[in-house]
């Protein structure tokens, strides 16, 4: 018998649960699908949120040939074979065959290179699925040829809808007269993963001693403690553990940070994944309070790539301890997010004339660059002038957090700009 998650796999967009920002009424992907033409794209999101299902629904809706490759088991030859079959099997004016590549982040550079020509010419429409940030793992030429859509963990309402659908429509479960007395534990253990949620439900129902299961939080916890891997074949608490790891660094607890990293190492986590998170934490959480943290994190990343496991654990541990024990500041992180929010709100404000480039005489005659003051011509290499667009000339995005290192930067801004930088 098929697992419950497979039996309940949606066949149409109307059955698809979650990701309303992509497939809800009027959303970008839904409009493309309804128009009958899609471009190549990559779906990035955590496990169990519907990446594979969405690709299959799109292929069914467009009545397109559908080829599937797994980056874990496929090589360059497999990619070329599929592309050749797609070329031969395509009919005039029909939709491009869809090539779905699961875990595309595991494809090597040569494997990804072998896709470029077919994607650019439209021989196939590529749909890639990944749990990793594509900007790290997908080569730039391929990424530039694909749209990127981010899928989110399912929300509580989505998960409850899935549970209700399972117990009322599944051919086996609906005969059991299941009573969902409590759902909190199942939702908590699922972590927004639909597949994990349905696996938990199936395990709990099969474990119930009577004919008509009554599901409570206590019973769910008992079942999962008795067989904690039954709903997670890889034993992965992937996102929970990386969250605990990052929060331990942010909270300045080197012992906890080392413990959670050890859990990832013992669980077979990709060392690149750990190293990337350390680099992100150095920039996001330590930041300007200790700029050397980013240098050390990058050095640890490079070292791991050169020496591999098991020795790679040592430079990673060095970086983790250094980050956890460093003073913390997220002022740069908050500053760029504030600037991005302002850009989204105000749009494309014009660059002030005195800051514009002057590649031609016409532009110079129009006043481009007029009034610009070259800072190096002034004492201390600074002179006040306006650098922001007129409409937001007085806006502030970076606010110093006054760690010893950052205080020096703040003091210099005060000496340069005076009251503008007083918080």
**Mean pLDDT score, 29-57:** 83
Residue 229 has pLDDT above 50, yes or no: no
pLDDT of residue 159: 87
Predicted confidence at residue 232, as pLDDT, reads 43
Mean residue pLDDT of the chain comes to: 81
Per-residue pLDDT, 237: 57
Mean of pLDDT values over 370-382: 80
> How confident is the model over 352-375, as a mean pLDDT?
68
Q: Which two tokens stand for residue 403?
A: 């760690």
Q: Considering only 143-147, 158-162, 263-267, which range has the smallest mean pLDDT?
A: 263-267
Q: Burial level of 137, CB count in 10 A (0-12/13-18/19+)?
A: buried
pLDDT at 230: 42
pLDDT band at 279 (very low <50, low <70, confident <90, very high): very high
Four-residue CA torsion sign, 317, 322, 328, 331: negative
Cα dihedral across residues 134, 234, 313, 297: positive or negative: positive
pLDDT at 298: 92
Distance CA 330, CA 43 (A): 29
What confidence score (pLDDT) does residue 234 get? Answer: 45
Estimate to the nearest angstrom the gap between the alpha carbon of 82 and the chain centroid.
Answer: 28
Report the pLDDT averaged over residues 196-200: 85
pLDDT tens-place string over residues 176-186: 888 888 888 88
What share of the chain has pLDDT > 70, as a percent? 91
Q: At what angle do helices 271-281 and 313-325 cross, to 10 degrees?
A: 20
Q: 102: buried, middle or exposed (CB in 10 Å: 19+, 13-18, 0-12)?
A: buried
- pLDDT reported for residue 228: 43
> What's the rounded Cα separation, in Å, for the pair 403 and 150?
35
CA–CA distance, 388 with 97 (Å, rounded to integer): 48
- pLDDT score, position 227: 47
Rounded distance between C-alpha atoms, residue 133 and residue 154, angstroms: 19
Check residue 312 and give its pLDDT. 87
**Rounded mean pLDDT, 55-83:** 79
What is the pLDDT at residue 238? 65
Q: Residue 387: is it exposed, middle or buried by C-beta count within 10 angstroms (0-12/13-18/19+)?
A: exposed
Q: Residue 179 phi/psi, 5° resolution?
A: -110, 115
Nearest Cα neighbor of 128 from 149, 110, 109 is: 149
Mean of pLDDT values over 400-415: 81
The model's confidence at residue 233, banded by pLDDT at 50, 70 and 90, is very low
Residue 417 contacts residue 384 (beta carbons within 8 Å): yes
What is the spatial distance between Cα 102 and Cα 150, in angstroms, rounded to a whole number? 15
Residue 52 pLDDT = 85
Average pLDDT score over residue span 10-29: 83
Residue 97 in this model has a pLDDT that exceeds 60: yes
More confident residue, 270 or 302: 302
Report DSSP state, residue 390.
G
Q: Is the pLDDT of residue 31 over 60?
A: yes
Q: Strand 41-44 vs strand 214-215: parallel, antiparallel, or unpaired?
A: unpaired
Which pLDDT belongs to residue 108? 77
Residue 73's pLDDT is what? 72
The answer to whether 101 and 63 have CB atoms below 8 angstroms apart is no
């Amino acid at each position: 018998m098929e697992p419950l998650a497979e039996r309940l796999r949606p066949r149409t967009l109307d059955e698809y649960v979650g990701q309303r920002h992509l497939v809800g009424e009027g959303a970008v992907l839904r409009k493309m699908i309804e128009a009958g033409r899609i471009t190549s794209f990559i779906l990035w999101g955590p496990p169990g949120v519907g990446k594979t299902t969405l690709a299959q629904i799109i292929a069914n809706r467009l009545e397109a040939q559908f080829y599937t490759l797994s980056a874990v088991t496929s090589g360059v030859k497999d990619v070329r074979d599929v592309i050749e079959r797609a070329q031969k099997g395509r009919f005039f004016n029909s939709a491009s065959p869809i090539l779905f590549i699961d875990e595309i982040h595991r494809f090597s550079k040569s494997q990804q290179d072998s896709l470029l020509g077919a994607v650019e010419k439209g021989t196939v429409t590529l749909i890639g699925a990944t749990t990793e940030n594509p900007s790290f793992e997908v080569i730039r030429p391929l990424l530039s040829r694909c749209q990127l859509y981010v899928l989110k963990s399912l929300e509580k309402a989505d998960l409850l809808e899935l549970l209700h659908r399972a117990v009322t429509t599944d051919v086996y479960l609906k005969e059991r007269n299941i009573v969902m007395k409590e759902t909190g534990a199942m939702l908590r253990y699922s972590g927004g993963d639909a597949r994990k949620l349905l696996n938990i439900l199936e395990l709990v129902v099969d474990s119930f001693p009577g004919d008509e299961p009554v599901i409570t939080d206590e019973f769910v916890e008992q079942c999962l403690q008795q067989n904690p891997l039954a709903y997670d074949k890889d034993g992965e608490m992937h996102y929970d553990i990386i969250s605990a790891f990052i929060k331990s660094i942010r909270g300045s607890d080197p012992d906890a940070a080392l413990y959670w990293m050890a859990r990832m190492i013992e669980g077979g986590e990709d060392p690149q994944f750990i190293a990337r998170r350390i680099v992100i934490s150095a920039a996001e959480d330590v930041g300007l309070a200790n700029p050397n943290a980013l240098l050390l994190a990058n050095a640890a990343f490079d070292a791991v790539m050169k020496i591999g496991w098991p020795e790679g654990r040592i430079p990673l541990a060095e970086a983790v301890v250094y980050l956890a024990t460093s003073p913390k500041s997220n002022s740069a992180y908050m500053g760029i997010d504030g600037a991005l929010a302002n850009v989204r709100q105000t749009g494309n404000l014009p660059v002030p004339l005195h800051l514009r480039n002057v590649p031609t005489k016409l532009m110079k005659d129009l006043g481009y660059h007029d009034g610009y003051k070259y800072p190096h011509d002034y004492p201390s290499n600074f002179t006040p002038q306006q650098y922001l667009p007129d409409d937001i000339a007085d806006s502030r995005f970076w606010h110093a957090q006054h760690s010893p290192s950052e205080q020096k930067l703040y003091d210099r801004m005060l000496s340069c700009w005076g009251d503008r930088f007083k918080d």
